C-alpha cells in the first residue's frame, strides 16, 4: 500500500494579487500540477495514456482554502489516490505551510476518455494495474458537490482564445475559475475568510467558441454556469466564503 | 564584481499549449519571476523597496526564444545586472536547456518609482549601494526597441479584471502579452521558428479600465498598441517570427 506523495512549492511573485497573498487560481494550478506530476512519475500520466490514445479528464473538484499564503511562503502539497471506481478515480490533496499547519485541501474526480471518441472508458484496469498506487486514507473533506441549477443575476461573454486552452485544446480549468472570480466584487475575491469552491464539468469548451458565464451572486459567494452557443451547460460551480 | 546568478525551472503541465511546448507567456513569467527572486535575494527586491515607498517598474523588455521547450523539460535562467543608469537599470537573462544549449535570452530595463507620486526616482544610489551586484558582461542581444507607431488593422476591447492585475494593481506584463498573442492566428503563435518580442510601457493600466488593443498584422508578426479610454498609448509591442 502506497504512502501520500509530497511536493514542495513556493509562492512566486506572479502568483500573488495586490494583497500579496496567493490567488485561488494560483493555488488551484499548483494542485492540478501536482496531480499531473504525480501521475507522470507513477507511469499513468497523460503522456503515458496518450500513447494508448487515452487521456485523463477532470470531472469534478472541490477546493478549500482556509488562508492564502503570502509571496515567497513555502508550502507542501500532499497527494494520494483513495479509490478507483469504474468511471471515476478520486485524487486527494492537502496543502501545508512550512510550520506543518494545514491551510487547504482538495478532492478531485477524474475520468479517462478515449481521445478518438471522447467517451469515458472503464477505469477498472487502472485500479488493477496500479493497485499499489492507492492509499488507505479518506478524502480530507466532502467530495465535490453537484451543482444542479444556477439562476444568473449577471452574464458575461467570452470568446475562447489561445491563452485559455490546454494541451487538449479545451478551456483549462483555472481559466474557468478566473472568469468566475473576475465577476465577483474585489472585496469578496480577496476576503481572508476560509473559502470553498466546487466545480464540475459537463461538456468540453473549445478554441473559437463564444462562452456565456452566468453568475448568481449571493452575499458571501456565488454560483456559476458556463455555456457555449447552444446554451447547454458546460461547467457549473459554486464558490463560498465563510 | 558579481557572477551571473542561476535559477533552475521545469516546464510544468499548466505552462504548455496544445503543441506540448511552453507558451511564450510562461517563459516570460519565468524570466520576470527570476528578476523578482534575484532582486529579493540581494536585498533590493520590491519588498525591501516598498518599505521606503519605492517600487521597481518594468519599462522595456526584449525576449528572444529560439525554440520553446517541452513539458517537464528542465532549464536554467541566468540573470545579471549589467548597468545602472540614472533612470534605468538593465537586467539580462539567458535561458539554457539541460544539455547547456542556450535557447532564449532577454534584456529588461527597469525604472524605480515613488509609490506616492508614481514618478521615476534617481537610481544612482542603487548603483552606489549595490555596485557589487553589477556583472561585467554585455547584454546577450540588442536592447529593447522603441516602437514608435502602430497602424492597427484589427482592434479588441478588454475590461481590466481581478485576474489581470499584479501586486501594484496594474495590468501585469504577461497579461498584456497574452492579449496580444490571442489576436494572432494560431499557426503563427505556435510557429516553431525563432521569435523576438519587444515591449515598452508608457502608462499604467488599472483595474476597471476598458482597454483597446490595436493589432497591425504582418505576414510573420505584428505590432500592438494598448490604450485606455483616453486613447493615449499605454503599451506598445512588436512580435516577430523568423
Q: Sketch the domain layout of chain B as residue ranges.
A: 1-143, 145-242
Q: Yes or no: say if B7 and B77 are a contact pair by the CB < 8 Å rule.
A: yes
pLDDT at position A1: 63
- How many Å lie between the alpha carbon of B97 and the closest alpha carbon of chain A? 20
**Which of A36, A161, A182 has its CB closest to that of B13?**
A36
Q: What b/e sequence results for B213-225 when a residue is b if at least 16 CB atoms lie within 10 Å of its CB, and e otherwise?
A: bbbbbeeebbbbb
- pLDDT of A126 strictly over 80: no
**Which of B14, B18, B33 has its CB closest to that of A14?**
B33
CATH H-level, domain A1-144: superfamily: Hotdog Thioesterase (3.10.129.10)
Residue of B nearest to A175 (CA): B163
Q: Is A1 on the interface with B (CB under 8 A)?
A: no
CB contact under 8 A, B47 and A172: no
Q: Is B57 on the interface with A (CB under 8 A)?
A: no
- pLDDT of A239 strictly over 70: yes
Q: Yes or no: say if B200 and B63 are a contact pair by the CB < 8 Å rule.
A: no
- Over the stretch B202-239, which tens digit does the pLDDT of each residue have? 999 999 999 999 999 999 999 999 999 999 999 999 99
Question: Would the CATH topology of B1-143 be identical to that of B145-242?
Answer: yes
Q: Is A33 on the interface with B (CB under 8 A)?
A: yes
- pLDDT of A120 strictly over 80: yes
- How many Å lie between the alpha carbon of A38 and the closest alpha carbon of chain B? 11
- How many Å lie between the alpha carbon of A230 and the closest alpha carbon of chain B? 24
pLDDT at position B119: 86
- Over the stretch A16-44, which tens digit does the pLDDT of each residue have? 999 999 999 999 999 999 999 999 888 87
Q: Place A211 in a pLDDT band, splitting at 50, 70 and 90.
A: very high
Residue of A nearest to B176 (CA): A163
CB contact under 8 A, A46 and B163: no
**Residues of chain B found within 8 Å of residue A25, distances taken between Cβ atoms:** 163
Q: Is B14 on the interface with A (CB under 8 A)?
A: yes
**Which of B162, B169, B182 has its CB closest to that of A163?**
B182
Q: At what angle do helices B24-41 and B173-181 cross, to 10 degrees?
A: 170
pLDDT at position A54: 85
Q: Is A157 on the interface with B (CB under 8 A)?
A: no
- List, in order, residues 6 or more apart from A123 with CB less than 8 Å away: A84, A85, A86, A87, A88, A89, A111, A112
Mean pLDDT of B152-180: 94
Residue of A nearest to B183 (CA): A161
- pLDDT of B79 strictly over 80: yes
Q: Is A36 on the interface with B (CB under 8 A)?
A: yes
pLDDT at position A13: 85
- Over the stretch B133-142, which tens digit does the pLDDT of each residue have? 889 899 999 9
Q: Is B40 on the interface with A (CB under 8 A)?
A: yes
CB contact under 8 A, B166 and A18: yes
In this structure, whether the domain defined by A145-242 belongs to CATH 3.30.420.40 is answered with: no
**Residues of chain B found within 8 Å of residue A182, distances taken between Cβ atoms:** 161-163
> C-alpha grid cell for residue A47?
503522456
Q: Is A171 on the interface with B (CB under 8 A)?
A: no
B interface test, pick of A50, A163, A207 with most B CB neighbours within 10 Å: A163
CB contact under 8 A, A161 and B182: yes
Question: Which CATH architecture best describes the domain B1-143?
Answer: Roll (3.10)
CB contact under 8 A, A163 and B23: yes
**Which of B169, B184, B186 has its CB closest to that of A18?**
B169
**Which of B37, B40, B167 has its CB closest to that of A16?**
B167
Q: Tell me how far apart the alpha carbons of residues B51 and B36 are, in angstroms, rounded to a whole number.
A: 16
Q: How far is CA B184 from the centre of its chain?
A: 19
Q: Is A182 on the interface with B (CB under 8 A)?
A: yes
Q: Tell me how far apart the alpha carbons of residues B55 and B40 are, in angstroms, rounded to a whole number.
A: 12
**Residues of chain B found within 8 Å of residue A184, distances taken between Cβ atoms:** 162
The residue with cell 499547519 is A101
Give the range among A128-137, B69-78, B140-149 with minimum mean pLDDT. A128-137
CB contact under 8 A, A169 and B46: no
- pLDDT of B116 strictly over 90: no
- DSSP state letter for B2: P
pLDDT at position B1: 63
Mean pLDDT of B62-87: 95
> C-alpha grid cell for residue B32?
520576470
> C-alpha grid cell for residue A69?
499564503
- Facing residues of A27 across strands? none
Q: Please name which of B63, B75, B65 lies closest in space to residue B9, comparing C-alpha atoms.
A: B75
- Over the stretch A54-101, which tens digit does the pLDDT of each residue have? 888 899 999 999 999 999 999 999 999 998 888 999 999 999 999 999
Angle at CA of residue B15, ends A27 and B5, nearest 5°:
90
CB contact under 8 A, A165 and B207: no
Q: Please name which of A94, A179, A108, A195 lies closest in space to residue A144, comparing C-alpha atoms.
A: A108
Amino acid at each position: 500500500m502506497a504512502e501520500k506523495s509530497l511536493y514542495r512549492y513556493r509562492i512566486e511573485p506572479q502568483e500573488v494579487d495586490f494583497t500579496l497573498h496567493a490567488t485561488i487560481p494560483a493555488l488551484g494550478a499548483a494542485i492540478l500540477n501536482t496531480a499531473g506530476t504525480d501521475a507522470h512519475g507513477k507511469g499513468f500520466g497523460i503522456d503515458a495514456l496518450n500513447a494508448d490514445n487515452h487521456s485523463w479528464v477532470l470531472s469534478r473538484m472541490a477546493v478549500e482554502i482556509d488562508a492564502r499564503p503570502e509571496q515567497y511562503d513555502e508550502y507542501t502539497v500532499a497527494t494520494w489516490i483513495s479509490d478507483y471506481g469504474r468511471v471515476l478515480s478520486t485524487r486527494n490533496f492537502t496543502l501545508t505551510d512550512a510550520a506543518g499547519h494545514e491551510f487547504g485541501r482538495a478532492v478531485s474526480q477524474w475520468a479517462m476518455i478515449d481521445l478518438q471518441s471522447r467517451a469515458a472508458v472503464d477505469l477498472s484496469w487502472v485500479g488493477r494495474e496500479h493497485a499499489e498506487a492507492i492509499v488507505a486514507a479518506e478524502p480530507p473533506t466532502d467530495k465535490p458537490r453537484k451543482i444542479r441549477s444556477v439562476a444568473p443575476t449577471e452574464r458575461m461573454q467570452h470568446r475562447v482564445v489561445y491563452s485559455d486552452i490546454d494541451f487538449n485544446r479545451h478551456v483549462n480549468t483555472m481559466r474557468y475559475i478566473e472568469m468566475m472570480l473576475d465577476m465577483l466584487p474585489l472585496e469578496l475575491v480577496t476576503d481572508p475568510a476560509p473559502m470553498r469552491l466546487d466545480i464540475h464539468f459537463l461538456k468540453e469548451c473549445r478554441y473559437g467558441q463564444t462562452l456565456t458565464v452566468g453568475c448568481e451572486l449571493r452575499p458571501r459567494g456565488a454560483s456559476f454556469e458556463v455555456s457555449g452557443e447552444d446554451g447547454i451547460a458546460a461547467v457549473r460551480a459554486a464558490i463560498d466564503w465563510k
